[in-house]
Amino acid sequence: MSLMSEDADPSEQRAAARPAAANAQQGRVTFNRLELHRILNLYGRMVADGEWRDYAIDFLKDRAVFSVYRRASEVPIYRIEKDPRLARKQGMYSVISATGLILRRGHELERVLLVIDRKLAVV
């Protein structure tokens, strides 16, 4: 015996369940479309040059992390992090090396990513 009436649209029930899923995502920090475009543009160029091979994106409660790998089985060679808690202090964007050293931190993603772009230009 079904609790649904025969004339009820199943998509209406799915739409009613969506706000619960949206509330689960509200507590996470994410990259917006423009930030992802800039990061993936850099990633694509580095893959084309044979420097990078894999990546991972983590949307955590307090920060968003884009990790870059030379090989999938290794530790990330770079982590690009967005931490909104630091927006008024040192800047919410940072590039962190495999050893945990913060290579650059700032308020603008473009300028922070130059630390990786310049290494390619120098070599």
The reported pLDDT for the residue numbered 23 is 43
State the pLDDT confidence band at 12, using cuts at 50, 70 and 90. Answer: low
Tokens standing for 21?
Answer: 């899923």
The overall average pLDDT reported for the chain is 79
pLDDT in tens, 41-59: 999 998 888 888 889 999 9
pLDDT at 8 over 80: no
Return the DSSP state at 2.
-
- Report the percent of the chain where pLDDT is more than 90: 36
- pTM for the whole structure: 0.72
The reported pLDDT for the residue numbered 41 is 92
Q: Minimal CA–CA distance to 66: which of 38, 26, 106?
A: 38
Tokens standing for 41?
Answer: 């543009």
Helices 33-48/109-122 angle, 10° precision: 10
In terms of DSSP bridges, do strands 93-97 and 54-59 run parallel, antiparallel, or are they unpaired? unpaired
Where along the chain do its domains lie?
A: 33-122
pLDDT in tens, 77-100: 999 999 888 888 888 999 999 898
